[in-house]
Chains A and B, each alone.
Chain A
Amino acid sequence: MILVIDALNEAKFSKILDEVYKLRARVFSGRLGWEVAVEDGREIDQYDKLNPAHIVCLDDDGEVVGCMRLLQTTGPHMLADIFFELLDGEAPLRSAQIWEATRFCIDTDKLKGRENRNSISHYTSELMLGCFEYAQSSGILDIVAVIDPVMNRVMKRSGNAPYDYIGSTKPMGVVSAMTALMDCTDERIQSIRNFAGITHDIFADEDKALALFNKGAKAKAIANDIALEPKHAPLAPAAQKSDLQQYCFEQLSKANSEKEIAAALDLLKLLSEKIGTDDVSELQRITRDLPQRTFTATSLTEMEELRPI
């Protein structure tokens, strides 16, 4: 089922929206490797502060399984400001009747192995349908969307092929991104519905959706609590190990001369097995504070070798 979250109802659906931001972090930062800012496990950018409309897809348990974000092209939007390189230096579209869709994603990890009307393919169609039906009812004629080639292929195979593209495909993270055009016509809507076998009204009753989500979230919290209960008495913390590590780091940061640094590094190297440090970033932080001249290639290489294998 589809839920549209916008500025008018986001207070009511703040917990669902939170799941949307977490899903986006997993997909765009994690799976797709885009350079998006993730804070506290949530991907939120400046366009989320412009009160966009979020099309959110919930499964039968009320869990968020997909989402996308819509903005007007008359005002600030991503193609104009962020993805402009996809447009090869051309000005972006601007029209009262064109919306921009971005951050399209489906929770493929959660849906893996599910079949029929619980499958990735089904929810992808439902989410797309949510976008087109909502846009159409708002007097919108076309959607311009930034998608990746995988999404593009999925859309072509599900009765929802973009009718054209703007600009060119460019690498972005571990995949590429492209700008597709889709109309919001009855034909496209019917074609997606036919492909996915959806005949009902996909938009959720707001109160029912919220109740379902809360029920699912509660069940999940209980399951988590049970899982977190320790089965055995916790092992004593490896105090000795961390003390040793701490000592080495201190020696390194206190080092005043090249000689002392070399000695500290030697000690570190010697003990690296016992320390078992994976704290390369901590090491780099300490050495950053050291006098510049000691930043020799050798000492850096030695630190590299400390990386756990």
Chain B
Amino acid sequence: MDLIDLNAMPETEARFPAFIDDLCDKLELDYASYVAMPPLSGDVRYYANYSDDWADHYAQNNLHCVDPVIHKSVNSIAPVDWQRFDRDQNFNLVFNPGREFGIPNVGISVPIRGPYGEVGLLSVSRNCEKSVWSKLKRKIMGDLQVAAVHMHDNVMQSGILPNVLSRPALSSREKEILQWAAAGKSQQDIGDILCISHRTVEVHLRSGRSKLNALTTAQAVGRAISHGLIYPG
């Protein structure tokens, strides 16, 4: 998947809605929303591409106070399919009017936990048959996880958390592998050079990318160099 790289965009609020739109476009989804709940500041951030009508209705009726999508999903470690919610009063309060506004009732929410105890939630949905949905879900699950953490980390670093906390803590192995990547070596080559399996190389690269807030290894190499963690290849 080739998502917009939030880190490479001008640091304006506008990049977040753009990311949401791009995500829907690339992953064949109708709607997406992201909400961040930092532990101390109480400074909730919310981005979504729902219609203005629905957004108004949602806000006027304070649905964010009862929405199971938010309150239940955020406590899970795994993505939560909306089919898991009890069809209780709160569910009906949100989803009954939602239907009139064209809001799908099939969707999934991906909870994100950050290192400082803060939580975020990326929710996506689409109007389609349940069978189509379960197929799509399987296909995009991994990408959704990556997108959720990418969005979350960038929102968190856009002023909610002090920047001093954001210097990436890379392990020696992660740095070593990025250094070889900077020298133009493939994953297979790096595995051979370091006498480790290429799966291990991949695990460290994935972790390194996450810590450097990068979607691709090339971006991670660039950022590791700019942080002074590795030398230019």
Where the two chains meet, the residues of A that have a C-beta atom closer than 8 Å to any C-beta of B are 6-8, 50-53, 70-76, 80, 87, 90-99, 134, 137-142, 163-164, 166, 181, 183
Q: In the complex, are the beta carbons of A97 and B206 less than 8 A apart?
A: yes
Task: Check B112 for interface membership: any CB of A closer than 8 A.
Answer: yes
Q: In the complex, are the beta carbons of B75 and A6 less than 8 A apart?
A: yes
Q: In the complex, are the beta carbons of B203 and A181 less than 8 A apart?
A: yes
Q: In the complex, are the beta carbons of A164 and B114 less than 8 A apart?
A: no
Which of A8, A50, A91 is B72 in contact with, Cβ under 8 Å? A8
Task: Check B211 for interface membership: any CB of A closer than 8 A.
Answer: yes
Q: How far is the CA of A95 from the CA of B142 in the complex (A)?
A: 11
Which of B114, B115, B145, B196 is A97 in contact with, Cβ under 8 Å? B145
Q: In the complex, are the beta carbons of B145 and A90 less than 8 A apart?
A: no
Q: How far is the CA of A33 from the CA of B64 in the complex (A)?
A: 46
Which chain B positions have C-beta within 8 A of A98? 203, 206-207
Which chain B positions have C-beta within 8 A of A6? 75-78
Which chain B positions have C-beta within 8 A of A164? 196-197, 199-200, 203
Interface residues of B in 154-205 (CB under 8 A from A): 169-174, 196-197, 199-200, 203-204
Most buried by B among A7, A96, A137, A141: A96
Query: Given A51-B76, A96-B145, A139-B79, does the pair A74, B112 have CB atoms closer than 8 Å?
Result: yes
Which of B76, B148, B171, B211 is A8 in contact with, Cβ under 8 Å? B76
Where the two chains meet, the residues of B that have a C-beta atom closer than 8 Å to any C-beta of A are 72, 75-80, 84, 112-115, 117, 119, 138, 141-146, 148-150, 152, 169-174, 196-197, 199-200, 203-204, 206-207, 209-211
Q: In the complex, are the beta carbons of B75 and A51 less than 8 A apart?
A: yes
Q: In the complex, are the beta carbons of B78 and A134 less than 8 A apart?
A: yes
Q: In the complex, are the beta carbons of B207 and A53 less than 8 A apart?
A: no
Q: In the complex, are the beta carbons of A90 and B173 less than 8 A apart?
A: yes
Q: In the complex, are the beta carbons of A72 and B142 less than 8 A apart?
A: no
Q: In the complex, are the beta carbons of A94 and B210 less than 8 A apart?
A: yes
Name the prevailing secondary structure of the A interface residues. Answer: loop
Which of B171, B199, B203 is A90 in contact with, Cβ under 8 Å? B171
Name the prevailing secondary structure of the B interface residues. Answer: helix
Most buried by B among A50, A90, A91, A139: A139
Which chain A positions have C-beta within 8 A of B84? 8
- 20 A-B contact pairs sorted by A residue (CB < 8 Å): A6-B78, A8-B75, A50-B113, A71-B77, A72-B77, A73-B207, A74-B112, A74-B152, A75-B112, A80-B115, A90-B171, A91-B170, A96-B148, A137-B141, A138-B141, A138-B145, A139-B145, A163-B200, A181-B199, A183-B199
Which chain B positions have C-beta within 8 A of A137? 78, 138, 141
Q: How far is the CA of A137 from the CA of B79 in the complex (A)?
A: 9
Which chain A positions have C-beta within 8 A of B142? 97, 139, 141
Q: In the complex, are the beta carbons of B207 and A181 less than 8 A apart?
A: no
Which chain B positions have C-beta within 8 A of A138? 78-79, 141, 145
Which of B78, B113, B169, B171 is A53 in contact with, Cβ under 8 Å? B78
Q: How far is the CA of A94 from the CA of B213 in the complex (A)?
A: 11
Which of B78, B115, B141 is A75 in contact with, Cβ under 8 Å? B115
Which chain A positions have C-beta within 8 A of B210? 74, 94-96
Q: How far is the CA of A87 from the CA of B86 in the complex (A)?
A: 42
Q: How far is the CA of A75 from the CA of B119 in the complex (A)?
A: 9
Q: In the complex, are the beta carbons of A141 and B206 less than 8 A apart?
A: yes
Query: Given A53-B76, A95-B210, does the pair A139, B171 have CB atoms closer than 8 Å?
Result: no
B169, closest chain A residue (CB): A91
Knowing that A95-B206, A95-B207, A140-B145 touch, tell me 17 more A-B residue pairs with CB under 8 angstroms. Answer: A7-B75, A72-B112, A73-B207, A75-B112, A75-B113, A76-B115, A90-B172, A90-B173, A91-B169, A95-B149, A96-B149, A97-B146, A97-B206, A137-B78, A142-B199, A164-B200, A181-B203
Which of B117, B148, B171 is A91 in contact with, Cβ under 8 Å? B171
A9, closest chain B residue (CB): B84
Q: In the complex, are the beta carbons of B211 and A94 less than 8 A apart?
A: yes
